[in-house]
Structure 1
Amino acid sequence: MTFEWAHSKPDPRTEAMAEAARAEAAGNLDEAVDILRRLAAIEPEGHEPDLAVALTNLGSQLSHVGRRNDAVAPAREASEIFRQLTALNPFAFAPNLVSTLHNLSVHLAQAGQHGAARAAAAEAAAVREWIRLGFPRGF
């Protein structure tokens, strides 16, 4: 018994539909970021974490659709928000900071900014170590 579908070539129509869906998702995430920015301006404590997550997702989606240079700004902004939140509550936000810094380093590398990518990766490793040691001193 052979499975022809396993050896068949991808259908260009299916690939085009998937690409359109990814582009639409990026647009939807951009809209979500705009809404969350407005909410965070009114009530930062309640909405900044969600804004940072949405920015992280936007950066990943932009990268996924080939807009690697555009992915850097939302990833950088998400990292900055999580830095500020980690300073206020490391137990709640330091793991998010590690993840966003990792994502930022990937986006920077994909955009050809290798020095900045190494710096973001090093910061992620330092925060990860700080977590492992149990937050020995202030952030």
Structure 2
Amino acid sequence: MRVFRELAAADPDQYEPELATSLVTVANHLWSQGESAKACTHAAIAAAIRRRLARANPDAFRRALASSLTGLGVYLWAAGQRAEALEASQEAVAHWRELAAANPALYEDFLAPALSNLGNRLGALERPGAALAAADEAVDICRRQAASGKEVNQDGLGTALNNLGNRLAAVGRTEDALRMSGAAMDIYRTLAAEHPSAYRADLARALANHALHQAQIGFVHKGLELTSEAIAIQQELAAANPAAFTADLRKFEDIRDVLRSELPG
């Protein structure tokens, strides 16, 4: 990266794109090592470079800018810089939206998850109306793609449905939330049956999420049944890789304990 800094200082037109790419690579590495604050620093510089490049040549650099902003939003959120993360996520969605308007076949695949992530952040910041609108649009894109005959990323659709369910629950639409989380659960059952090593953890999260929505409409026993299934999956995963899976296992056990406390007697 130091080499690209020196080259970009001498010839920015030629080497700033490579410098931005190297900064993103370093940020990703830092993120994987748990260094979210340092990842933010590198990703922010990359985004600033790409923002400047996109202003001069949007056709060449807007996609790279949108990608940088998407990653920057993730790193900032993890580092606790929520307002800055929201701003980066909103800017990313704006760029993906413009790109998708010009070429939906190529860029709606990026717009949908960006909207879903934005919905999560708006929800956490207690903006339920805006959060629901973003999550709903993400699912609408996936459904529209499926209706057109395009093969839809089922993992992405499952995530979008789960997120929409949570956003619906936040505004009191619990039965609609249950339908969304149930659809997500069904998707991950299928994916986990086909590729267990890749999707069993996602299935466990979907089961726990659906369990909460079941309990919200009064089906506590069903919620406990689903939570027990999630815990059983997660116990196997945590036994093989405690660092990666123990935290979610504890969350599922907490959900089980809460649901047990809601049973009469």
2:41 — aligned with what? 27
Deviation string 1:2-49 (CA, Å, 9 cap, x unpaired) is: xxxxxxxxxxxxxxxx76x21111011111110000110111111101
Structure 1 position 60, deviation (Å): 0.7
2:84 — aligned with what? 70
Structure 1 position 69, deviation (Å): 2.4
Counterpart-to-counterpart distance in 1, 2:145 and 2:58: 25
Give 2:90's aligned amino acid.
Answer: R
Over the residues paired in the alignment, what is the CA RMSD in angstroms?
Answer: 1.5
Give 1:72's aligned amino acid.
Answer: L
Counterpart-to-counterpart distance in 1, 2:101 and 2:148: 14
2:148 — aligned with what? 134
Whether 1:107 aligns to 2:125 is no
Give 1:126's aligned amino acid.
Answer: D
Counterpart-to-counterpart distance in 2, 1:75 and 1:122: 16
Counterpart-to-counterpart distance in 2, 1:67 and 1:118: 22
SS for the counterpart of 1:99 is helix
Q: Name which of structure 1's ranges 24-33 and 104-113 shifts more when overlaid on structure 2.
A: 104-113
Counterpart-to-counterpart distance in 1, 2:73 and 2:132: 18
Give the structure-1-normalised TM-score: 0.79
Counterpart-to-counterpart distance in 1, 2:148 and 2:94: 22
Whether 1:123 aligns to 2:137 is yes
Name the structure, 1 or 2, with higher relative contact order (CA <8 Å, separation 6+). 1
- Structure 2: which 5+ runs fail to align? 1-32, 150-265
Identical counterparts, % of pairs: 33
Structure 1 position 134, deviation (Å): 1.9
- Structure 1: which 5+ runs fail to align? 1-17
2:98 — aligned with what? 84
Give the structure-2-normalised TM-score: 0.42
1:93 — aligned with what? 107
Contact (CA 8 Å) 1:69, 1:107: kept in 2 or not? no
Question: Number of paired residues?
Answer: 117
More helix by share: 2
Whether 1:47 aligns to 2:61 is yes
Give 2:86's aligned amino acid.
Answer: V
